[in-house]
Structure 1
Amino acid sequence: MKVDQLSQVRQEIRSGRWQRPTAGLTPGRVQANLVVLPKRLAYDFLLFCVRNPKPCPLIEVTDPGSPVPRKTAPGADLRTDVPRYRIYRHGEWVKEVSDIRPYWTEDAVAFLLGCSFTFESILLEQNIPVRHIEEEKNVPMYRTAIPCEPAGAFQGNLVVSMRPLASRDVIRSIEITSRYPQVHGAPVHVGDPQEIGINDLSRPDYGDAVTVRPGETPVFWACGVTPQAVAAASRPEWMITHAPGHMMITDMKQEDLVGING
């Protein structure tokens, strides 16, 4: 399904009919990663986001107990409007579900972090191919050896998403994505994956492997799945996130981000 009618897409997700990755859906809308934590850990995670804006570009924090992102999607419900969620207990991924209402608590605080799926439609408009969309796969994501700046209870290493590009498209992709820091901005690494601790592109830690053609350069962007790797390292009592590649689609438009970031 490739449609730009937000209400139709959200209803498909809310009803459980769409449980696949959201890359390519609602072009022009801002997509977001989701992290939900108990209130007692919310300040520490907020500080983690402030200290690590590349993987965790914060676009909204909800009031404790409220599942409504009043700033970015006032008609949405964060408990039902993400295609797939992951439940973590003490750092272990224990379950993947399509509805987190049974797990929501009165002190739950939700964080929405900008997602790089947002700028993919701009790359496509500029005739820069996006391989995982071409191949109808989830974007490949990898844990790196790059440590994040710790904050309170949270510490761990950066996760990146990868898109292979022809040499002629690398500089253009950097120029384009650097205009959107609230959805990860410019890449964090270009070229040899081993330089950032990735040994095998054919074995992503999250998502699907994609074809890297001869002469193409792997380009790596900071990824909002980083908090899930941080959960494994920090072991909070519980954390709820989106399943990698299955984003919250907000009401915000790409041009809203340009206005915010100049």
Structure 2
Amino acid sequence: MAHSHIKPEEAREMIRSNRWNKPTSGVANGYTQANLVILPKELAFEFLLFCQRNPKPCPVLDVTEPGSPIPELAAPSADLRTDLPGYRIYREGKLAEEVREITSYWKNDMVAFLLGCSFSFEKALLQNNITVRHIEEKCNVPMYKTNIDCVKAGRFEGPMVVSMRPIPEKDVVRAVQVTSRFPSVHGAPVHIGHPEAIGIGNLDSPDFGDRVTIKEGEVPVFWACGVTPQAVAMNVKPELVITHSPGHMFITDWTDEKFGIL
């Protein structure tokens, strides 16, 4: 992919100038991508506690100062109002609209959370010759709500969302080993095979993202997913929550290896 080797600031400039409006999997390979959740300050502590209690689906990478759209640690030259290719606006727990930038929605009491994203370990899978199907098929990763409950914190509670990648049977153990090196970006899978055991009825009908082909001899492998806060936001029904559109991530200045453990 032509955009796999560009630097994060170049990728964000392309996004800001509307030259990239697709999912970011495979863009600026090797740099950590992040899920985005923006909440009013009065909910921020409860949400931080929810993340702390649910580190698999909600690994916190950076939190902005109240009212600031600048992620000072992850990318101090970036602006979270414009530097993602797609945003979702939730009102009272319902998806109200999808937009390209959120400058007009931003308020002075908002706090933005950047959470680890499984796109970050995909480069490591590819380096181990493990195919990543949604990159191969140039679509978004399939994501599903499960019957696995997150640990409640304040008003925040709800089901874990998982992302799925079909892995050849012979490579499943290696895929677990590779991704377990990246606990800050969801780490090892939460489930392997048997989607019905975690409440997924039909792999061809993901709740978020796109369906992908599962070939003979492949096993569906499920990782905790940073779209979980969107499912939880639907339960909590705050007046306003802003998130990334699934698959349309924030690209940080950090390299994935910063979060890998040897």
Give, in angstroms, the shift of residue 257 of structure 1.
Answer: 0.9
- Which of 229, 237, 242 does residue 240 from structure 1 map onto? 242
Count of residues in Structure 1 that have an aligned counterpart in Structure 2: 260
Is it true that 1:62 corresponds to 2:64 in the alignment?
A: yes
* 1:183-262 → structure 2 map (5 Å cutoff): 183-258=185-260, 261=261
Q: Deviations over 1:179-226 (max 9, x none)?
A: 100000000000100000000000000000000011210000000000
What is the TM-score with the length of structure 2 in the denominator?
Answer: 0.98
Please report the RMSD computed on the Cα atoms of aligned residues, expressed in angstroms. 0.8
Give, in angstroms, the shift of residue 122 of structure 1.
Answer: 1.1
Equivalent residues of 2:145, 2:207 under 8 A apart: yes
Give, in angstroms, the shift of residue 3 of structure 1.
Answer: 3.1
The alignment partner of 2:104 has SS state of helix
* 1:1-40 → structure 2 map (5 Å cutoff): 1-6=2-7, 7-40=9-42
Query: Where does the alignment leave 5 or more consecutive residues of structure 2 unmatched?
Result: none
1:38, 1:211 → 2: CA distance? 39
- Which of 74, 77, 80 does residue 78 from structure 1 map onto? 80
The alignment partner of 2:187 has SS state of coil
**Paired residue for 2:113?**
111
**Paired residue for 2:152?**
150
1:183, 1:74 → 2: CA distance? 20
Give, in angstroms, the shift of residue 4 of structure 1.
Answer: 2.1
- Which of 104, 111, 127 does residue 125 from structure 1 map onto? 127
Query: Where does the alignment leave 5 or more consecutive residues of structure 1 unmatched?
Result: none
Amino acid at match of 1:2: H
1:218, 1:207 → 2: CA distance? 16
Q: Deviations over 1:21-79 (max 9, x none)?
A: 00111111000000000000000000000000000000111000000000011110000
Give, in angstroms, the shift of residue 137 of structure 1.
Answer: 0.6
What is the TM-score with the length of structure 1 in the denominator?
Answer: 0.98
**Paired residue for 1:162?**
164
Is it true that 1:44 corresponds to 2:46 in the alignment?
A: yes
* 1:126-141 → structure 2 map (5 Å cutoff): 126-141=128-143
1:66, 1:5 → 2: CA distance? 27
Give, in angstroms, the shift of residue 2 of structure 1.
Answer: 2.5
1:203, 1:247 → 2: CA distance? 22
1:4, 1:41 → 2: CA distance? 38
Equivalent residues of 1:187, 1:221 under 8 A apart: yes
Q: Deviations over 1:119-175 (max 9, x none)?
A: 101111111000000000100000001100010111100000000010111000100
The alignment partner of 2:203 has SS state of coil
2:221, 2:158 → 1: CA distance? 22
The alignment partner of 1:145 has SS state of strand
Q: Deviations over 1:213-252 (max 9, x none)?
A: 1121000000000000001111111100000000000000
Equivalent residues of 2:89, 2:241 under 8 A apart: yes
The alignment partner of 1:46 has SS state of helix
**Paired residue for 2:175?**
173
2:243, 2:175 → 1: CA distance? 28
Amino acid at match of 1:157: P
Equivalent residues of 2:6, 2:27 under 8 A apart: no
Give, in angstroms, the shift of residue 16 of structure 1.
Answer: 1.5
Amino acid at match of 2:193: G
1:192, 1:44 → 2: CA distance? 33
1:15, 1:108 → 2: CA distance? 24
Q: Deviations over 1:66-119 (max 9, x none)?
A: 000000111100000000000000100000001100000001000000000011
Amino acid at match of 1:53: P
